[in-house]
Structure 1
């Protein structure tokens, strides 16, 4: 028996309603899927060109940032082969070539489609600062070669330049506080929040050519040249920061040895260089070239006249004399009677809270002779220079990493850079847009269903 015309029309209407409902459901699921998928990930590359070596770091963060700042994590750390770029004065092209290996590792990690939008920056620190003082043309040639290599790479190259000492210290402060969760923390309620200011820590970076001190003081920063200001995750910070060029470990050891050099007559009537080193263990004896000691701008004396090309170094094993020799490298008298002064007349407000110390120069077994001098230098710097005491010493922690992340200026630089990189609409705004869209889809579906239903009633039960 065939269907009546009313039943046929009703079947068509019901089919249309089912198709409409199915279409609405598909659209709903497609949009929900696009909303629930993880946000796009952005990447950034930073080269840290230090005095003794160059390191590359790759960072990543979700495209939808938190209060305009990315929630950044370290994705790769790579140490370039060879010494720091300031060592390539005789062949600047090698400075650029030394970066290729780590750069290739970074590009292999980052999706190829995102290479062109990946910001890449090289910041040179104290080693290149010293070279710029000594021979600016050599420094410029090295920067040119580094820029040539990086600009040829398929990335968004932002430049290769000197990083100011103030910025180096301040960015390191951002890094350690971010890694420790003192700038941003994820609460149990599933929201990002700013921790109490009391959780902030100070940062001490002890490198090969310089050392940096950075912290948020309890009062105002009276010297504007030591103040760095940031807005991170919607909060403002004023950080005291100062970099002491020539007070990194390598330069301190060079300056110390240069002060100990004496000229003595040799039996054959010729002169030779001799240094009796109180910090080297008794019985140590070695011959080293003399001229390189006096090439650094940190050494303010010239090579003694009549000295031979080589220097004979003899260890004396005298810790007391070692401390006295190291203290002579600091000008403590310039800060006598001043509570807000460290040494060499440098302003520093009163310290507060905990401090994390990053020792960023590499250790090597061949440097065993320098362990005594290095340790006593660190003690002198922290106790007599920066003003730590027996009571505040427990507030210092020595770290190279925290939470699996390298402590240094590079992560802080990238966090600050994310403030200037456009982001997608925040997740909350996407959710709001999705809610409006979903409500519109449901309303259209309900309206169509009501119309179809009314038509079906009119067909099946017409009025008399």
Structure 2
């Protein structure tokens, strides 16, 4: 019995020692650990004149100098034409959005859907419909709002963007993606690039075209002036939209009938292989050579592009006319034009800029804090707790065993 008593006493002592060590390790070198910021989501429908696209965005909830670091999660193209084409079938406009909304619900976590801000912004197509028949435009918007309202999201309305809003938000998108507004530095933090060249933005849609840039001088006409504060920096921009000067509307006036859709510039010049900084001389010669081909030769050469093939010549000529005669680019400044559809694997358009600007109005979410240990100390504490439990269980077993004896 003396031997068993000694073993029991030793086990109890070991239990106490291991427990004490675990206690010490659990309170030594404890540090406050900042948890990673949660992720916020937002959705924007770009309801253009020829088609609608739903963009899903996300950003860390802590933001940088008041503005979110936004990234594109998904782009879903809505089947069918733009919502302005449903003037005589408003319910069809709402129904057309549902497949993309269903897809969004599969992407955004269920617990965050009800706090996901969702917008629909209509551009020149709905501007024209509103001017032609405001009642039909309101009916289309009512059906669109009804369809989106059936989903568990924070729907904040459907509206017609002004041309200047469309142009200025596109400017934000371009400069954000090309890192002239904010950039992740070698110091591992987001900073405003000091020597970055802020770019202008040209956008050619189906029904309108926009030009936006930072002029560097005072803007006399307040109707063409817009102000933004992004990542702690102020921007005063000149922006102007020309309704009915988009490629479809302009060519309709010239050719009586055309059905086509930043993107307008890119698609046509991409088809003609002119998006690699070719000289103006080469661009002119390529367009002229293409336009001189007869229809049978074009169909034989480009059978997969037959649907839009009849538009490329007239659209290319219109683009050159708009850039050279309208916006006054010349042979000397032509090289400063970059034809892009995407930057940083993200679609260029007004929706990203809209969402970036929106994050300024969404409160910053405080970061969570927890108490943390170094992995080695935590492993040591857990090991001592396990050993203390084992020693205690063995001691309890021996004590019960001795009593039965």
Q: Same fold (TM over 0.5)?
A: yes
What is the 5 A alignment of 1:201-240? 201-240=199-238
Q: 1:197 to 1:246 in 2, by over 3 A?
A: farther
Q: Corresponding residue for 2:87?
A: 89
Q: Distance in 2 between matches of 1:145 and 1:197?
A: 48
Question: Could you list the per-position Cα deviations for residues 166-224 of structure 1 after superposition, in whole angstroms to 9, with x for gaps in the alignment?
Answer: 11000000000000011110111212110136421011010000000001012111111
2:24 aligned with 1:21: yes
What is the 5 A alignment of 1:51-450? 51-196=49-194, 198-258=196-256, 365-425=306-366
Q: Give me the CA root mean square deviation.
A: 2.9
Q: Distance in 1 between matches of 2:14 and 2:305?
A: 85
Shift of 1:364: 5.6
Q: Corresponding residue for 1:336?
A: none
TM-score by length of 2: 0.74
Shift of 1:105: 0.9
Higher relative contact order, chain-length normalized (CA < 8 Å, sep 6+): 2
Shift of 1:366: 2.2
SS of the counterpart of 1:199?
coil
Q: Distance in 2 between matches of 1:21 and 1:39?
A: 31
Q: Distance in 2 between matches of 1:236 and 1:129?
A: 30
Shift of 1:368: 1.9
Shift of 1:15: 6.5
Question: Could you list the per-position Cα deviations for residues 57-105 of structure 1 after superposition, in whole angstroms to 9, with x for gaps in the alignment?
Answer: 0001111111111111000011000000000011100000000011111
Q: Corresponding residue for 2:39?
A: 41
In structure 1, the gaps of 5 or more residues are: 259-287, 293-318, 323-362, 439-464
Q: Distance in 2 between matches of 1:15 and 1:381?
A: 81
Shift of 1:402: 0.9
Q: Distance in 2 between matches of 1:154 and 1:434?
A: 32
- Structure with greater proportional helix content: 2
Q: Distance in 2 between matches of 1:93 and 1:375?
A: 36
Q: Size of the alignment, in residue pairs? A: 326
Q: Corresponding residue for 2:262?
A: none
Q: Distance in 2 between matches of 1:46 and 1:364?
A: 30
SS of the counterpart of 2:37?
coil
Q: Distance in 2 between matches of 1:90 and 1:434?
A: 58
Q: 1:198 to 1:189 in 2, by over 3 A?
A: closer
SS of the counterpart of 1:48?
strand
Q: Distance in 2 between matches of 1:197 and 1:99?
A: 43
Shift of 1:423: 2.1
Q: Corresponding residue for 1:359?
A: none
SS of the counterpart of 2:217?
coil
Question: Could you list the per-position Cα deviations for residues 341-387 of structure 1 after superposition, in whole angstroms to 9, with x for gaps in the alignment?
Answer: xxxxxxxxxxxxxxxxxxxxxx9632322222111111111111111
In structure 2, the gaps of 5 or more residues are: 260-287, 292-303, 374-405
Q: Distance in 2 between matches of 1:402 and 1:222?
A: 32
SS of the counterpart of 1:98?
helix
Q: Distance in 2 between matches of 1:376 and 1:219?
A: 32
Question: Could you list the per-position Cα deviations for residues 245-298 of structure 1 after superposition, in whole angstroms to 9, with x for gaps in the alignment?
Answer: 00000000111134xxxxxxxxxxxxxxxxxxxxxxxxxxxxx89xx9xxxxxx
